[in-house]
Each structure stands twice: as structure tokens, then as C-alpha cells.
Amino acid sequence: MEIYLVGGAVRDRLLGLPPGDRDWVVVGATPQQMLELGYTPVGRDFPVFLHPQTGEEYALARTERKSGRGYRGFVVDADPSVTLEEDLQRRDFTINAIAQADDGHLIDPCGGTRDLQARVLRHVGPAFVEDPLRVLRAARFLARFAPLGFTLAPETQELMRQIAASGELDALVPERVWQELRKALRSAKPSAFLSTLRETHALQAVLPEIDALYGVPQRADYHPEIDTGIHQQMVSDMAARLAPGDDLIGFAALTHDLGKALTPPDQWPRHVGHESAGIKPLRALCERLKLPAEHRELAIATCREHLHVHRLFELRDATVHELLARCDTFRKPERIAQIATACEADARGRLGHTDDDYPQATELRRLHAAALAINARDLVQSGLSGPEIGEALKQARIAAIAAARKTA
């Protein structure tokens, strides 16, 4: 039995990145031997075990053979005769196909260290086309590594186009699409995820609501970048800059402008009512990908309210209260900061505006805090009851907003 460190742990160490989870491959062992050594089996589709002390994953070396559609359509062979090199050669990208022995020696049959040095994301071999999920993984890796200078190998890009043209992306289950999107939104450059999928003709298959934004013009005086798809990429990158690693805010920023894709061309470049128009495709996207409720609710609030937040200083005190109430921010106070950040990403995700101030974000938080400080319990003690409390609470909060504005 031989054990090697593999995958992301080796890759990230060579890139000088902080270490993450460590994965191991075991060569020359059977599942029964792993059980006898105290390992706990956890793999459903292939033999994976947890170490009895560290809890780290140890997978038996394996090969895979395509047997059907989708990313699960494979026959796995984890026989003890499978070599380390054979296991590495069935992996997705060369930079993930490097193993490290106990003495630090690297086993690199696919040229991964060379591609790390050249900052190239390249597929291992022709079997790449057999797993459609790898299209999304490639895009997601670029979202993470593009800031380090990584680019996609032309031959890998061509294979990704072949997968998109084959219709295999339709076989991906929603949870896996969301998993890759979520990781991309947590990355430093989500725009690389979007642009990679767009360039390989895959975005239309997995995120048609986003794909539809490309080529839709906006007013140049507000949006010098003009193309709504390019604006969306800039907004996603700004959200990653303002809220690093926050896929909740990232998703709200990603979907705030979906309504612009529905504007009739004869109304371009204006998009009157795009905020409300965007809610229907946003709900459809959330339902299709089976998103968590908190992502759906924050995204809908941001989509519906982002222009109101941009115009915050023009709103009446009562209108500000209505905005806060519609977004359920008195019951979920953390939501106002999230909406403010997503709206700031929208305002600054424009050509020539990335370093602009966005005082609306600070003001929205301040007015919300003033309104939130009004306590219904105090009104009960004053002798009010029933519907009177609700109306009094509303008026007291509007008065608090007005007073806060006067002290700005």
C-alpha cells in the first residue's frame, strides 16, 4: 500500500497559497484492507474513506470509463492494480493531477507543474469531454485563479465548446450547477466564470437568464460600458471586492438586472420598470437551481429595490420606511447591510466608476438603525393595543428616520 497527497493541496502549495483540505490517494489497497485499518467508508460512487484520526479523505486509486449521460455516467475501477499514474491521468486538469510522496517528491505525469508556472488551465486528456461538470469547474477555477494570471488553454476551450454543443450540460443536476456557481461567487473574480462560460457557449445552457443580458445596450451616460452583460461582470467583481467570499451578496448582485433582458428592443437603451420585470426570471432561476431561501429572498429584494436605494436621498421619510418594511429588515436586520452592499456593487460596477463613493450605503444603514431603535414594547406600555400599536410603531419609525436625517 502506498499513500500520496494529491489534488488541490499540492497545487495550492506550489502556488504559495494558504493550505486547504488535504486529499489522499491510496495505491495497492482493497476496501477490506482500509476497513481493517480503521478507516470509515463514505464514498457513494467510488471507494473513499475517512482517516480514523485526522478525518481526512483517502480515496483508492481508480480509473473511470464513460457509460452514460451526465457526470454520474461512469463505471469506476478501483482495483488494487490501478497505478498512481493511471489515477492522475483520469483527473480533470493538469494542475490538479500532481501527487506528492511522503519525502516531498512530486509525481507529475501530465505536466501540471509546467502549467502552474505558465499560469495555464489545461485539461489532462481527451476523456475531459466525458464529464460535462468539468465545463463549470474550469470556469470556476478561472474565477479563483484569474487574479494570479491564469488563462484557459485554447484546446481546452475548444473541448468545452464541444461539450456545450453536445447537449450534455442539460444532464447536470441543479444542485451541482449551484455548487459550482456558489464557489465562483465566493472567488475573487466571478466575471471570469461568466465570461468563460459565455465564450464556450455554455452560459446559455446553465444560466440563460444571465446569458440574455449580453448585447443589451444601456444608456451610455449612466453606463459607459453600454453592454448589460459587461456591466453584470463588473458588478459581480465589485461585489467580490466589497464582500469577499460572500456568495449571498454575490448572488444578489449577479441577478439584480435580469429585467433588462426583457426590455423590448424598440425601448433600448432605456429600461423603464426593469426592477419589477426582473423578479419573474429571478424566481425561475432560483426554482430551477433549487437555491436556499435566504439567497432567493435577498436577491428579490435587491432586484426590486436597487433603484430606490440609488435614489435614497430623494425619497420621502415615509417612502424610506416602506422600503425597509418591504425588505423585512425589521424582522431580519442583517438584510439591510447586505442590500446596501449589493446596491453599492451595482453603482460602482460601471466603467470609470469603480472608485466612486456610494454614500447611500452608509445612509441606508444609518436610517435603518434609527428606525430599528423604536421598540413596540414601549408603545404597549403607553396603553395602545391591537392595530393601534402597528400604526403607532410605523409613525414613530418614520419620525425616527426624519430626525436622523436632520442630524446628518
b/e burial code for range 86-116 (CB count within 10 A of at least 16 → b): ebbebbbbbbbbbbbeeeeeebbbbbbbebb
- Predicted local distance difference test score (pLDDT) of residue 388: 76
Q: Which fold has domain 1-121?
A: Beta Polymerase; domain 2 (3.30.460)
Q: How far apart are CA 57 and CA 357, in angstroms?
A: 46
Backbone angles phi, psi at 3, to 5 degrees: -125, 135
pTM of the model: 0.93
- Asked if residue 60 lies in contact with residue 91, where contact means CB atoms within 8 angstroms, the answer is no
pLDDT number for residue 385: 65
| Distance, CA of 3 to CA of 191 (rounded, Å) | 38
Q: What's residue 66's pLDDT? A: 62
C-alpha cell at 123: 485539461
How far apart CA 158 and CA 153 sit, in angstroms, is 9
| Spans of all domains in the chain | 1-121
| pLDDT at residue 266, rounded to an integer | 97
Three-state secondary structure call for residue 48 = strand
**Contact present, 308 and 326 (Cβ < 8 Å):** no
Return the closest-CA partner of residue 160 out of 144, 136, 142. Answer: 136
Q: Whole-angstrom Cα distance, residue 120 to residue 117?
A: 8
Q: Distance between CA atoms of 29 and 2, rounded to whole angstroms?
A: 8
pLDDT for the residue numbered 76: 82
Q: What are the E-state strand segments in 110-152?
A: 120-121, 151-152
Per-residue pLDDT of the chain (408 residues; tens, 9 = 90+): 999 999 999 999 999 998 888 999 999 999 999 999 999 999 777 899 999 999 999 999 999 876 555 555 557 888 999 999 999 999 999 999 999 999 999 999 999 999 999 999 999 998 899 899 999 999 999 999 999 999 999 999 999 999 999 999 998 999 999 999 999 999 999 999 999 999 999 999 999 999 999 999 999 999 999 999 999 999 999 999 999 999 999 999 999 999 999 999 999 999 999 999 999 999 999 999 999 999 999 999 999 999 999 999 999 999 999 999 999 999 999 999 999 999 999 999 999 999 999 999 999 999 999 999 998 776 666 666 667 778 889 999 999 999 999 997
pLDDT recorded at residue 189: 98
Residue 273: the pLDDT is 97
User: What pLDDT, on a 0 to 100 scale, did the predictor assign at position 74?
Assistant: 58
